[in-house]
Structure 1
Amino acid sequence: MGSFPGHAIPGTLFLVIGVWHMWCSLNRYASNPKSFRVRVWNPVPGFDGRLKYLELYVIAIGAFFDLCIEFLYSTHLKIIVHGVLNPSHMNDFEHSGMLLMFFIFGVVALLSEKTRYLPLPEGALCLVASAAFTAEYLLFYFHSTTHKGLEGWYHFILVLLIGLCILSTIAGALMPTSFPADLCSGMAMTLQGLWFYQTAFTLYGSMMPDGCLLKDNEVKCHSPEHEIRGELLANFQLFIQAFSVLAAVAGAYIYIEPKYRGSNSIRSRALDDADDQNIISSDR
């Protein structure tokens, strides 16, 4: 069984990075659709380049901070008991392994972008990110088999969203000019962050469905009917979140596109004029 902070902290990281990724993807596509390229991370513009790598620092530091909470604070430093890993904190160790993968991704990306020691193309960084999501998927997939009832259903939906993150990130590596793959990656991360929050508020907060309660560190429902009602409510919550993200993407693009419409028209006319000149020159 987890906790409210245990879901809210990673949810915040995924939500912030996902929203930033969607915004940057829409901006890059609207500014020049023909030269669009998939990016696994997006630099922060302005500030004389001082915040360029902020996203990667947020990923690395955020993952490391959450890793310390899971591995050190949650275990009360009782990591080894009688020569083996403390069996009462295996849940924390599993989460630590997942967070370690995202920390590694952040560090690898920073080394690749800021130094000459590990130069990696964007496609390779996409695959490193997909490896981190795969570790998360495997954790929650096998971890979720121990969850039952309503709690298990919420974690099952989380596993589906993580799988979408994996597929969209790999698609970005295989199709480096695909705007849908890049945008889908940001949307999947955003939905994952939102669902972490939804799980926290539902299972450990004030949104517990009627007929269910948190007792003895386990979610229990009074009857199968109450459990089914809770699962249907979870499906509706997922639909609302997915619809909201789609609406936000559409609204953001409607807001962004007019800013680049004029420059794109000028660029297109310039390219057409250049093509005409090339045709005239070849005819001569």
Structure 2
Amino acid sequence: MGSFIGHALPGTLFLLVGVWHIWSSLVRYVSNPKSFRVRVWNPVPGFDGKLEYLELYLVAGGAFIDMCIEVLYSTHLKFFINGVLNPHHMNDFEHGGMLLMFFIFGVVSLLSEKTRFLPLPEGALCLVAAAAFSAEYLLFYFHSTTHKGLEGHYHLLLVLLIGLCVLSVAAGALLRTSFPVDLSSGIAITLQGLWFYQTAFTLYGPMMPNGCQLKGDQIVCRSSDSLVRGELLANFQLFSLVFGVLVTVAASYGFAASRYGHSDLKSLHVLPDGLE
């Protein structure tokens, strides 16, 4: 069982990174479509380059802080009981392992970009990021905490979104010039962040479906009909988030094209006979 802050904190991290990735992908494409390349992270312009690596610092720092909360604070430093790993905090250890992978991605990317110790091409960094998302996917798929009922349905939908992150980021290592692949990874990360928030507000906040309630450490529904209504509501919530993100991306593309559009952009939308 989780908590509101336990879902909102990683949701904030994924949402910030995802939204920034979408906007950066749009601007880079409309600015120069022919030289577009997939990026697993995007520098922040301005401020004399002082914030260039802000995204990587956010990923590494956010993952490290959240990892400390999971492994040190949540376990109260009681790592072992009778010589074995504390069985009451296995979910905290699992979350810590997942967060460690994102911390490693942030550190490896910083070392690759800022030093000569680990020079890696962008495609390799895509694979490192895909490995981090794969660890997250395996964690939630084979979680030691058994998610049942309505909670299980929300986590199943989360696993599907994480799977999209794995596929889109890994594809970036193979299709280095594909704008749809780069944009898809940003959309998938954004949806994952939004779904963390949706789960927090629904299961641990004011949006609990009628007929279901948080009782102790479990989400309990009065009847099978209440459970089905809750699951259908979850499906509708996910559809609404997907629709909202796609509409926002389309509007953002139009704005970015009008402000930063390159002359080559229009020619890419013209058919061979000259008709648009």
TM-score by length of 2: 0.94
1:80 Cα deviation after fit? 1.4
Aligned partners of 1:218 and 1:175: how far apart in 2?
A: 43
SS in 2 for 1:118: coil
Question: Alpha-carbon deviation of 1:76?
Answer: 1.2
Q: Give the distance between the partners of 2:121 and 2:265, measured in 1 at CA.
A: 31
Higher mean alpha-carbon deviation, 105-114 vs 143-152, is at 143-152
CA–CA distance in 1 between the matches of 2:264 and 2:6?
49
Partners in 1 of 2:237 and 2:43 — Cα distance? 32
- Verify: 1:188 aligned to 2:211, yes or no: no
For the residue of structure 1 that corresponds to 2:143, the secondary structure is: helix
Deviation at 1:82, TM superposition (A): 1.4
Following superposition, the deviation at residue 260 of structure 1 comes to 2.9
Identity %: 73
2:157 is the counterpart of 1:134: no
* Residues in 2 aligned to 1:231 and 1:83: alpha-carbon distance in whole angstroms: 41
**C-alpha contact (below 8 Å) 1:130/1:170 kept by paired residues:** yes
1:64 corresponds in structure 2 to 64
In structure 2, relative to structure 1, the CA distance for the partners of 1:121 and 1:266 (3 Å cut) is closer
The gaps in structure 1 that reach 5 residues or longer are 269-284
The answer to whether structure 1 residue 45 and structure 2 residue 53 are counterparts is no
Contact 1:38 1:179 in 2 (8 A): yes
SS at the partner of 1:117? coil
Match for 1:187: what amino acid? Answer: I
Deviation, structure 1 residue 264: 2.1
- Report the counterpart of residue 103 of structure 1 in structure 2: 103
Deviation at 1:101, TM superposition (A): 0.3
State the secondary structure of the residue aligned to 2:214.
strand
Distance change in 2, residues 1:266/1:248 (3 Å): closer
**Alignment partners' CA distance in 1, 2:154 and 2:264:** 47
Inter-partner Cα distance in structure 2 for 1:143 and 1:42: 32
Aligned ranges for residues 1-284 of structure 1 at < 5 Å? 1-143=1-143, 146-261=146-261, 263-264=262-263
By percentage of residues, which structure has more helix?
A: 1
Paired with 2:260 and 2:43, the residues of 1 have a C-alpha distance of: 19
Distance in 1, Cα, partners of 2:22 & 2:250: 11
Kindly name which structure, 1 or 2, has the bigger radius of gyration based on alpha carbons: 1
Root mean square deviation, CA, Å: 1.4
Q: Structure 1 runs of 4+ off > 4 angstroms?
A: 265-268
Could you tell me which runs of 5 or more consecutive residues in structure 2 were left unpaired when the two chains were aligned. Answer: 268-276
Is 1:144–1:156's contact at 8 Å kept on the other side of the alignment? no
CA drift at 1:145: 7.6
Deviation at 1:258, TM superposition (A): 1.3
SS in 2 for 1:143: coil
Q: 1:220 to 1:267 in 2, by over 3 A?
A: closer
Shift of 1:211: 0.3
Letter in 1 for 2:195: W
Q: CA deviation at 1:143?
A: 1.4
- Taking the aligned partners of 1:94 and 1:73, their CA distance within structure 2 comes to 14
Instruction: Decide whether the 8 Å contact of 2:91 with 2:145 is kept in 1.
Output: no
Q: Distance in 2 between matches of 1:50 and 1:218?
A: 46
